[in-house]
Amino acid sequence: MRDLYNAAVWLADRNLEQGRGNRNAIVTSEGAITYHGLLRLIFRAQNALGELGVRREERVALVLNDEPAFPAWFLGALRSGVVPVPLSTMLKGSELGEIIDDSLAQVIVMSAEYVPLLEEISSRAPNLRAAVIVGNTDVEAGVDIYRWDEFTDGTEARIAGTNRDSPAFWLYSSGTTGFPKGVMHRHYNLEATALTYASSVLRVTEEDIFYSAAKLFFAFGLGNSLTFPFAFGATTVLDPARATPKAVAVTAKAFRPTLFFGSPGLLASILDAGIERDVFSSFRLGVTAGEALPAEILKRFVSEYGFPIFDGIGSTEALHIFLSNQPDAVLPGTSGRPVEGYSLKLIDDMGDEIKEADVPGYLHVQGESIATGYWARSEATRNAFWGPWLKTGDVYVRSADGYYQFLGRNNDMIKMGGIWVSPAEVEGVLVEHQDVLEAAVVGSKNEDGLETTVAFIVPRSGHSVDQASIEEHCRARMASFKRPRKIVLVEELPKTATGKVQRYQLRSQLSSKDL
Ligand code: 3UK
């Protein structure tokens, strides 16, 4: 028999065994939860899963804010061998419904504020039969409704007989075809990110207090606000609110966190908002990821606030950061050097490894935290996972002293505020508008050097396109982060002989103009 291993036991039970039961695991504006308290909440989620009849390896969808119920359900599911599928709280009901349908989850756990989406979700996900609501609500829907408060946490629950390779959790990530793919991770992958990046780059101790502007449903936020603090018996600050510069300032004042995680765009807007230096004096280190951090923003932020910022690249497939700026090794405008425990290589168009410096190539990564594949997407899985290597889809160049610089991606995907936007998906919505004949969506850099979404639209003959009406059309049909920030009307789109839109032509048209 293989050695038993369960990620939730490693992250939660182990802290009690090591005498940290009375230390704070989670702090929120409503109070603190110790590691003892966390384990009780985990038992409650396990008991709820049992009562709801959810079995090993079945999926449970989580549409939860950053609040204690998230770690309780995520770890509770792992401890029972059930597969939690955290989903973006920024999505519309229709978008969530399609993903839940793909996952075949029969049970959803949601924060009360998302309950109005339930009807739309269940109409698209016919397998869904029950919803557990966190917070107060009266609701009627096509599924059975339970309340999180009504389950009991008194009785200790059983640990499933999982091992390191057992299916653990899925995270959905957008792809070029427009439909998100379920990225499947195994139990050991969480520990692998803690023992590599969190240990050697963040150098976490149990005194650390984590605060991540990126929410728990992202791989980035999951590491920052759950895996890393619990792996080291430290404390995580959970705040359900959207992380605006103001909200970040309020949290920093109230909880005095030591580690900060956010997107490059958030750093730019904090600088813009002119938050005072003192407010952030508890931070010893900040991390950005999701898209490249322009050197200018990095330098301005560090000179304003006086603590170091490490830009690093991670991905949903790699689970967390594998290439990063590090203690005593920061080079602005680069993603730094490989994180200890990961191997990187650059590959040329012929598929050969590039050994010399300063030659651009496709970045591949190997390490213990790489996903096992995409759920029910064989072709996409074969394309991305090459033996032990993960093809990131990013083009990088390495300097003679080992720093990697991001040059771009070898597909058309856009990163808006560090979040994937699929051009195909947005185009599909735009052409549903009555005045639109064709649409092409591309990413373009704004004045801060960050990516933003631009739509080129060809009106139908005899129709004129009214920007406000396109805007309204998009607001009703897609999550707001996907909405094009600029619309350009054109008579035709540049195309190849076979009729494929040449998005690179559109991009170069934009880069010659100011946005
Ligand atoms: C791009 C970057 C340049 C790059 C993520 C930290 O972003 C995360 O995961 P996603 O699956 O996207 C992955 C892709 O985003 N990217 C991310 N970080 C950087 N490009 N510089 C960066 N620092 O194209 C990559 O392939 O959304 C980030 C931890 C966990 C994550 N999942």
Residue-by-residue DSSP string for 305-339: H-S-EEEEEE-TTT-SEEEE-BTTB--TTS--EEP
Task: For residues 92 and 52, give the distance between their C-alpha atoms in angstroms, rounded to a whole number.
Answer: 26
**406 close to ligand 1 (CB < 6 Angstrom):** yes
Do domains 7-185 and 187-409 share one topology? The answer is yes
**287 close to ligand 1 (CB < 6 Angstrom):** no
- 187-409: which CATH topology? Rossmann fold (3.40.50)
Identify which of 313, 374, 395, 396 to mutate to test ligand 1's pocket (most ligand atoms within 8 A of the CB): 313
Q: How far is the CA of 7 from the centre of ligand 1 (A)?
A: 24
- 7-185: which CATH topology? Rossmann fold (3.40.50)
Q: Is there a contact between 46 and 76 (Cβ–Cβ < 8 Å)? A: yes
**313 close to ligand 1 (CB < 6 Angstrom):** yes
Tens-digit pLDDT string for the chain (515 aa): 689 999 999 999 999 999 999 999 999 999 999 999 999 999 999 999 999 999 999 999 999 999 999 999 999 999 999 999 999 999 999 999 999 999 999 999 999 999 999 999 999 999 999 999 999 888 777 899 999 999 987 689 999 999 999 999 999 998 766 689 999 999 999 999 999 999 999 999 999 999 999 999 999 999 999 999 999 999 999 999 999 999 999 999 999 999 999 999 999 999 999 999 999 999 999 999 999 999 999 999 999 999 999 999 999 999 999 999 999 999 999 999 999 999 999 999 999 999 999 999 999 999 999 999 999 999 999 999 999 999 999 999 999 999 999 998 888 889 999 998 999 899 999 999 999 999 999 999 988 999 999 999 999 999 999 999 999 999 999 999 999 999 999 999 998 877 788 888 999 888 765 54
Q: How far is the CA of 392 from the centre of ligand 1 (A)?
A: 9
Q: How far is the CA of 164 from the centre of ligand 1 (A)?
A: 25
What pLDDT score does 475 carry? 95
The domain spans of the chain are 7-185, 187-409, 414-514
**486 close to ligand 1 (CB < 6 Angstrom):** no
What pLDDT score does 261 carry? 98
Query: In this structure, which residue's CA is closest to atom 24 in ligand 1?
Result: 394
Pair type for strands 285-288 and 259-262? parallel
Phi, psi (rounded to 5 degrees) for 374: -105, 140
> What's the per-residue H, E or C state across 380-422?
HHHHHEECCEEEEEEEEEECCCCCEEEEEECCCCEEECCEEEC
What pLDDT score does 409 carry? 87
**264 close to ligand 1 (CB < 6 Angstrom):** no
What pLDDT score does 178 carry? 65
- 414-514: which CATH topology? GMP Synthetase; Chain A, domain 3 (3.30.300)
Q: How far is the CA of 314 from the centre of ligand 1 (A)?
A: 5
Query: In this structure, which residue's CA is closest to atom 12 in ligand 1?
Result: 315
Q: How far is the CA of 241 from the centre of ligand 1 (A)?
A: 23
Looking from the CA of residue 173, the nearest atom of ligand 1 is 11
What pLDDT score does 513 carry? 59
Query: In this structure, which residue's CA is closest to atom 13 in ligand 1?
Result: 315
Q: One-letter amino acid identity for 392? A: T
Cα–Cα separations (whole angstroms), residue 156 to 6, 41, 47, 89, 292: 16, 10, 8, 30, 45
Phi, psi (rounded to 5 degrees) for 212: -115, 125
